Structure 1
Amino acid sequence: MLNALELPVDIFGKLSLPKTVVGNLKPEIRAAVGFDVEVVLSATHDTASAVLAMPAKDDDSIYISSGTWSLMGIERLIPDCTEESRKRNFTNEGGYHYRYRYLKNIMGLWMLQNIRNEFKHLYSFDEINTLAGIGLYFPSTVKVNDPAFLAPRSMITAVKAYCARTGQDVPETECEILACTYKSLASCYAETASEIEALTGKAYRRIHIIGGGCRDGLLNRLTSQYTGKDVYAGPVEATAIGNLLVQMLRAGSIADLPEARDAVRRSFAVEKVVVACS
């Protein structure tokens, strides 16, 4: 591909698999810090390490690496390069031990972060959850992956404009603006889960939400409600844990990926999301 695009190959680094030993500290750094260390390549980019730490027991789980972006997908042993996958904007990204992360990039907590920053009062995230919960009566939703929400001057204005443009009720209060955004994210997760099942011809019973965004209790509950699937939240520091697991796999402290994920389940708080009956 690089040759076809006439890009200079020599400016890119060598491709290496996770567990590859990169090297040791330079002598001058070793002298300054007083120790040496073997540097082991983790699964990269950060989402690859996070997915490695997904505490799934089998292959019937969808994951959401939740943060500023939401990376939602499944693990596969072979890539899916079909035209239908391209049309639906699914990608095949490298994972641990020749696995592919078949996923879609979804707008995540970026929208909520921007909305929060625009409010006159800087609410805590618990207060944001409470306000959004009050506004769940509000019916309108937006397509969170619409380009209008990538980098608007005002996220609140963008949400209102989208609702007006699509003939829906326009949110006015803080509660309505937040509820509209929360429900829109959960709706997009449900739509993506359905796409994954249609493209793979397989039903998935559970969703694992990992990363910092898994602490958002309301979004977790709405995700379970909208998808109709069991949702498990945690671990929070999935990327760091995935990095650690690769080093343990390299050292032989852990034998394989199933054992690594079993260690995550036994070592970190992973909570099944409970949806209150209406």
Structure 2
Amino acid sequence: MTKYSIAVDIGASSGRLILGYLESGLLHLKEIHRFENKIIKKSEFFCWDVDALFQEIKNGLKKCKRMGIQPDSIGIDTWAVDFVLLDEQDQRLTDAVSYRDPRTDGMMEEVFKLIPKEDLYFETGIQFQKFNTIYQLYSIKKNHPEILQKAKSFLMIPDYFNFLLTGKKANEYTNASSTQLVNAFTKKWNEELLDTLGINKEMFQEVQLPKTILGNLSEELVSELGFDMKVVLPATHDTGSAIISVPEEDETIYISSGTWSLIGVENHFPICVPQAMEYNFTNEGGMDHRFRFLKNIMGLWMIQEVKRNYHDEYSFADFVALAEEAKGFKAIVNVNDDRFLKPDNMIEEIRNYCRENNQPIPSTPGEVAKCVYDSLAASYQATVAEIEMIFEKKFERINVIGGGCQNEMLNRLIAEVTQKEVYAGPVEATAIGNIAAQLMALGEMNDIMEARSVIRKSFDVKKYMPLAALMN
């Protein structure tokens, strides 16, 4: 009998519920529900509206009921690092503050006074970014210590939704690893680190691995929805789910392309060496104790903000076409500069950077878009060089997955600047990986190798070659 799984995949700008099932050896997807997500200002902080998001999850499940679909399981993935704290009555002590909020400004340097930077990296293997959970929690400890004193439960965003679904608490491994509070080698919360920071380690839940069946829906939700199903932990960090869709090839570098660009390789052990720290690579947890050795790069967030600054006058496809027309324009910005994290106006910030660095200043929408795409490609090329230096080998191909893999201009740029074969697809990598984890938990797939084999057969992948290779 066919098993139906629902992937709830929530990103920075939207979320959706996607139905997945196996038929004739192929994985099939069907979008059930799509909804908006955005950062809102609540009192002094920029936050996610988790109440509205959970209502949309329920709205999507009610659509399933109306469509006559009975899901066997559900799995939730979101972005990393963000969380809520619950009191002893399981009420939220905090809003779900966004990683883009400036409350972490200066916190990384404060933490380094307690824990040397090198020690922190060698234990956790996590890239230094000012919005990591460790710095968010330290900001609360420093500015609102009364909140941490009352906190009884720490739940990351998908953990919190799972709690609302089942009444059960767990911290899923792939997302927990992004906090910079998990030991890379034991894969458990680093209690010594938490003690040093003065953060109550009792509020953290047991770390659970992807493919864990957390439980069934609460009685209250079964009554509201009219059906029951299992809640399965996929890789709840969206990139962790997306990487499941990458073919297992030793010569493959992946780029998970969306609001962020995550570029790296899958590895079977953490690489917590000085060179990896110097290049600021991360060792985030993956499926089956694998590691995502990668670097987090500012991604299509920049063009999303450019689109918003132009009052949505142009579509993403328009920006690609306009950038093609501006092919004679060339300016490169450092996409990882903090000034691009949450500027008041992305277009002006790009122009200011170019002005300050004596580069041509983009004046048209096409030139702005061309600058963004060229800058992203340049950052990818630099990161590929660093990966090859650390691994002491050349990689033959790059696999671009996620929504950004539909940008043909960017794919061609990547092939050209890296001089490598670029494979674009699958587009729905995150939802696919989420569903694959559920199907493995339900016994419909044996392991990640089988899952990847099915995924390769089920979804289209487009190939791009460097111009020199095409001419030979």
The TM-score with structure 1 as length reference comes to: 0.94
CA contact (8 A) 1:91 1:103 kept: yes
Runs of 4+, deviation exceeding 6 Å? none
Using the TM superposition, give the Cα deviation of residue 34 of structure 1 relative to its aligned residue in structure 2, in angstroms. 3.1
Q: 2:273 corresponds to which letter in structure 1?
A: T
| Residues 130 and 249 (structure 1), Cα distance of their counterparts in 2 relative to 1, 3 Å cut | same
**Who is 2:210 aligned against?**
18
Using the TM superposition, give the Cα deviation of residue 37 of structure 1 relative to its aligned residue in structure 2, in angstroms. 1.3
2: CA distance, partners of 1:215 / 1:255: 30
**Who is 1:179 aligned against?**
370
Using the TM superposition, give the Cα deviation of residue 29 of structure 1 relative to its aligned residue in structure 2, in angstroms. 2.4
CA contact (8 A) 2:266 2:293 kept: yes
- 1:144-163 aligned within 5 A: 144-163=335-354
2: CA distance, partners of 1:51 / 1:168: 36
2: CA distance, partners of 1:199 / 1:67: 25
**Who is 2:433 aligned against?**
242
More strand by share: 2
**Who is 1:113 aligned against?**
304
2: CA distance, partners of 1:212 / 1:177: 21
CA contact (8 A) 1:135 1:175 kept: yes
Q: In the alignment, is residue 193 of structure 1 matched against residue 384 of structure 2?
A: yes
2: CA distance, partners of 1:6 / 1:120: 45
Q: In the alignment, is residue 53 of structure 1 matched against residue 242 of structure 2?
A: no
Percent identity of paired positions between Structure 1 and Structure 2: 46
Using the TM superposition, give the Cα deviation of residue 215 of structure 1 relative to its aligned residue in structure 2, in angstroms. 1.3
CA contact (8 A) 2:423 2:464 kept: yes
1: CA distance, partners of 2:256 / 2:263: 6
Match of 1:5 among 188, 192, 197: 197
CA contact (8 A) 2:255 2:264 kept: yes
Q: SS where residue 71 of structure 1 aligns?
A: strand
2: CA distance, partners of 1:52 / 1:70: 16
1: CA distance, partners of 2:292 / 2:335: 22
5+ residue gaps, structure 2, are: 1-192
Question: Greater CA deviation, 189-198 or 132-141?
Answer: 132-141
2: CA distance, partners of 1:235 / 1:190: 21
Q: 1:24 corresponds to which letter in structure 2?
A: N
2: CA distance, partners of 1:126 / 1:275: 23
Q: SS where residue 3 of structure 1 aligns?
A: helix
Using the TM superposition, give the Cα deviation of residue 120 of structure 1 relative to its aligned residue in structure 2, in angstroms. 5.8
Q: SS where residue 170 of structure 1 aligns?
A: coil
Q: CA RMSD in A?
A: 1.7
The TM-score with structure 2 as length reference comes to: 0.56
**Who is 2:396 aligned against?**
205
Q: SS where residue 384 of structure 2 aligns?
A: helix
Q: In the alignment, is residue 99 of structure 1 matched against residue 290 of structure 2?
A: yes
**Who is 2:334 aligned against?**
143
Q: In the alignment, is residue 27 of structure 1 matched against residue 230 of structure 2?
A: no
| Residues 114 and 32 (structure 1), Cα distance of their counterparts in 2 relative to 1, 3 Å cut | closer
Match of 2:231 among 39, 63, 68: 39
**Who is 1:87 aligned against?**
278
CA contact (8 A) 1:93 1:101 kept: yes
